[in-house]
A and B are shown apart, each in its own frame.
Chain A
Amino acid sequence: MTERTARQQLMRDIKRHKSVYALLAIPLAFYITFMYVPIFNGQIAFKDYMALDGVLGSKWIGLAHFKTFIHSYYFLELLRNTLMYSLGKLVLSLPLAIILAIAIYESKRPLLRKTVQTLAYLPHFLSWVIMYGILLALLAPGDGILNDIIKALGGKPIDFLTNTKAFPWIVIFSDAWKEMGWSAIIFIAALMGIDPSLFEAALVEGANSWQRVRYITLPSIKPVIVIVVLLRLGTILDAGFNQIFMLYSTPVYSVADIIDTWVYRQGLLEFQFGLATAVGMFKGAIGMFLILGSNRLVKRFGGSSLY
């Protein structure tokens, strides 16, 4: 096909899809306004932002904000806390979700299975404000249930949410409590896809339940496990802003502060817009490489990456 006919073909194609492009108008306006203008505004990471001068009018100062952040004492602390929470959540809730999925799949009690399923998905739909209310009833220093038990056993009540030793555990366990059921869905789906004739063959060979889980179930869902781990590693810098923002308080900042909470406080409470944007962008840039890398690996493991 010559250059000219190819172009004509393209024009014809575009013309044919005219009404399709019309459907795009509003969504595209949305993307430009609410996705690309913020990226454009991101330039204040390299500027000494003054509200009066605006984004464009403020003076360029190069990498000064980035240097301030990397050389500050809180840099390592924020990075450590962020990784501690996201890895901690992964290590606790992933095996739990897998075990839950297998237990639901293997259970021979339909009523129990249905009840657990319904109840286990539910907390995913509750906000962290609601979760905070539930945790208060459980953990409050004066009248929380856990402290009722500690007192009944003759111990001294603990204020869990302001205790630097207890706080990280509360974050990790409350996240597992809230999200375990939801994370199990994908594994349950994978389990339902296992070819039943594998189990029949195993039964004929005389394999017991343990052996079936060990040699059929787990190997069958291994690719899904690998994919979920990779995708989670791609967002490892997102340690759960809403959760920590709701649960933390000044006494536990040293173990609770993650990159996102710090950006919020620096930017919107201390009005250090430039510095906060620089830190947000630092996180965004690393996050981008992690997501792209993990998606590439997911594709290699045969998963359908999102794009």
Chain B
Amino acid sequence: MFGKNQNKKSRYGSVAIKPTAADHGFNLLVTTFLTLLLIIIAVPLWSTITLSFRPNDYIGNNLQGMFLVPWKWSTSAYKALLGNAGFILAFWNSIKILIGGVATALLLTIPLAYVLSIPTLPGRRYLNLLIIVPYVFNVGIIPTYLLVTKIGLIDKLPAIYLPVAISTYNCLIMRSFFEGIPNELKESARIDGATEIQVLIRIILPLSKAIIMTIGLFYGVAYWNNFFHAMLYLNSNELQPLPILLRNILMASGMNEYVEVNAFGDAPIAAIKAASVFMSAIPMVLAYPFIQKYFTKGTLLGSVKG
């Protein structure tokens, strides 16, 4: 997110002044802080990764395991997971929820955000009020649970994303992005006889790649990570998404541990647990670098105006 002007030389223009001892101390502190932070963030991630590659005949504790050389790593835990029908099914369920959820959410959020961004729309104030009231006044989970039960969504994958298909917060971020698009562009299209749907598709959407990627990412992360709604609304084993399977694997202990985890094959139990953590995180970790440049841009547009 740092452009060229992050370069110190350009920030201070042509002013060239010799750094003092205080400046050196400051720089040293900044570097130390960032390095320490890097270690603090990296160590837990690294320990989980090394744990997942631990071979069956490994002797030693987890601390030493972090320094195990890569050529002694074993992929037995991953082989066990990928060879397990239950794991593949859960992964597939999660993919279905992710794709169905993001598509539904964007299809609902984009038109609403666009309509709310039209300043001349009669009744705009009431529309705003209509979406803000439930956002501000949250009655908790039970009333929604009763609704989902009543309309027959129980044990259907859309139960995970349909009740939360529009996040008012995301919609408001998108609205303020649309509001920032110059009005002349929309007006000239309207004068040429374009309908609102055409204006949205031909003018607004091509200019809104950053915000759509960002909001899509926010929805995607929320649906991929959701375990609570899956726990409430999906009872059947065939529908369990990845987070529920992961939770069962992680929480298994004692006898249960052997039933739940050993079913996966002959890799060490701790390695299977760590590998399933890593596998659950992988889609987000892979998508992340591609979307990073969009989300920093998109979030900023939504959060700080001026």
Contacts and interface: CB of A to CB of B under 8 A. Distances in A.
Interface in A266-307: 267-268, 273, 276-277, 279-281, 283-285, 287-288, 291-292, 304, 306-307
A129 B274 contact: no
B120 A208 contact: no
A103 B23 contact: no
Contact of B62 (A148, A213, A287, A307): A148
B229 to A, nearest CB: 11
Contacts of B144: 34, 38, 41
A158 interface: no
A213 B27 CA distance: 12
Contact of A44 (B11, B15, B45, B143): B143
A19 B139 CA distance: 33
Contacts of B122: 10, 13-14, 17
B19 to A, nearest CB: 8
Contacts of A279: 140
A204 B128 CA distance: 50
Interface residues of B, number: 110
Interface string A161-194: 0000000000000000100010001101110010
B288 A208 contact: no
Given A129-B250, A304-B305, A210 B166 contact: no
B111 interface: yes
B134 A31 contact: yes
Contact of B280 (A117, A130, A242, A288): A130
A154 interface: no
Contact of A112 (B38, B120, B121, B292): B38
Contacts of B246: 129-130, 133
Interface in B22-60: 22-23, 26-27, 30-31, 33-35, 37-38, 40-45, 47-48, 51
Interface of B: 1-2, 5, 8, 10-13, 15, 17, 19-20, 22-23, 26-27, 30-31, 33-35, 37-38, 40-45, 47-48, 51, 61-64, 66, 107-109, 111-112, 114-115, 118, 120-123, 127-128, 130-132, 134, 136-147, 151, 162-166, 169, 172, 176, 195-197, 200, 221, 224-228, 232, 243, 246-247, 250, 270, 273-274, 276-277, 280-281, 284-285, 288-289, 292, 296, 299-300, 303-306
18 contacts: A22-B196, A23-B200, A35-B131, A41-B143, A112-B35, A118-B292, A120-B41, A125-B284, A125-B288, A145-B47, A148-B63, A148-B64, A210-B22, A276-B140, A280-B143, A281-B140, A284-B139, A304-B176
Interface of A: 10, 13-14, 17, 19-24, 26-28, 30-31, 33-42, 44-45, 55, 99-100, 103-104, 106-109, 112-123, 125-130, 132-138, 143-145, 148-149, 151-152, 177, 181, 185-186, 188-190, 193, 196-197, 199-200, 203-204, 206, 208-210, 213, 224, 241-242, 245-246, 260, 263-264, 267-268, 273, 276-277, 279-281, 283-285, 287-288, 291-292, 304, 306-307
